[in-house]
Chains A and B, each alone.
Chain A
């Protein structure tokens, strides 16, 4: 029986608690996405931040290098399309998922 990723009972925290907060950050939900990914055209973007605040999967986060813009994270985006739908300037559009991008570097920030 495969026991990869399983925890020996003696190593479990008391009451099977999880003592590392936010451990789900290491969990890749980016591979729930199929075919396409949202891409922001920063020319059209007015830095309103709506994509960031209305994303159920927290796939957007403030760009530390370019203030006001938001970075998209392939590791978490499930591809629901809410950001496209809600962007007031239609600055976000779908782009076909490329094989080499799909399993790109895990952010897991």
Chain B
């Protein structure tokens, strides 16, 4: 059985990666991801984890080394943040195109400029289209579980895609909290050894990364697109397996007090917890509000989302990144697109907040709900509101 421990979430993430018995970690330090890779290098240095820790000279090389390692057939992990993720950008597309099951923890942080080390989602929102499976954790327990789940899904021969587990920088990475850390036997029972469908092997030579001439590029992309779409049932299946093994349940879209709710907050990441507390207060005041939390961001679980918001009149979308030049943040823009063809679609209000780690409090969520309701009743389009901007 697992044991209940108090642990910094970064260390818990590293422990989970260690429990997955990875073969290679290639990483470069960047705040607020550093504690994850520091602890992994400790585990390797102490002989607790038999892996190669490749201390590369940049994130670009980190992802490149991960591609090499995974192509060689090794279980591979990396972690980064912000500028580091941006520096990996071009290689992220290649990792998914080559169908390599690399697992990466992204300690979400703002993108420069101005330079900021604090939490928001601008780093990962700039990487929406990389073709990776992407999940978001809300607390330390989820970081542990989603990390185990990521290896299980990514390496499944029906999937073979890289996977990013997002955890909020500082707001999660640097927080010490209680969680249950599974023991090795449990993890071994859940996660089998990695058996790559193909690898760089002199006994069966293959060429990887061929030139995508116009006659094949479209088909190559189609194959990746289908793979990402088809990963959905496997993702859900392995969450079920996780529940059976560890007793904790996960769904692509999580809901909180959505029954009879007229207004739903839509959140991703750790802010969901504060929103839930705010919702509790609002419910005490007689407001019909709830929370919809997007855990699976790619592939986007459209049906689950539609079911989760059924009956709601207003969505208050909490965007943690900007999409300059578009009248909404990235999440709201996508949701509006998805809702367009639906009858009886809710009004979508969009709030950009919590940029660069700026705290968003329960009372601010209460205000947002009021604003959203007012906008909805006016029927006028509500452009993206930046919350808390000092005029």
Q: Which residues of A contact B (CB under 8 A)?
A: 5-10, 12-19, 21
Interface string of B77-111 (1 = CB under 8 A from A): 00000000000000000000111100000000000
New A-B contacts (8) at CB < 8 Å, excluding given A5-B215, A15-B98, A16-B219: A6-B215, A6-B219, A14-B160, A14-B197, A15-B208, A16-B210, A16-B220, A21-B205
15 residue pairs A–B, Cβ–Cβ below 8 Å: A9-B218, A9-B219, A13-B206, A14-B99, A15-B97, A15-B99, A15-B100, A15-B208, A16-B97, A16-B210, A16-B212, A17-B98, A18-B206, A18-B207, A19-B206
Interface membership of B245, Cβ < 8 A: no
Interface membership of B226, Cβ < 8 A: yes
**How far, in angstroms, from A14 to B216 measured CA to CA in the complex?**
13
Q: Are A17 and B207 in contact (CB under 8 A)?
A: yes
User: B11 to chain A: closest CB distance in Å?
Assistant: 34
Question: What residues on B are CB-neighbors of A18 within 8 Å?
Answer: 206-207, 210
Question: What residues on B are CB-neighbors of A12 within 8 Å?
Answer: 216, 219-220, 223
Closest to A18 in B: B207
User: B72 to chain A: closest CB distance in Å?
Assistant: 14
**Chain B count of residues within 8 A CB distance of the other chain:** 21
Q: Which residues of B contact A (CB under 8 A)?
A: 97-100, 160, 197-198, 205-208, 210, 212, 215-216, 218-220, 222-223, 226
Question: What residues on B are CB-neighbors of A21 within 8 Å?
Answer: 205-207
Q: Are A17 and B216 in contact (CB under 8 A)?
A: no
Question: What residues on A are CB-neighbors of B97 within 8 Å?
Answer: 15-16
**How far, in angstroms, from A9 to B229 measured CA to CA in the complex?**
15
**How far, in angstroms, from A18 to B213 measured CA to CA in the complex?**
13
The 5 A-B residue pairs with the shortest CB-CB distance in the complex, in nearest-first order? A15-B99, A9-B219, A16-B220, A18-B207, A9-B222
User: B158 to chain A: closest CB distance in Å?
Assistant: 11
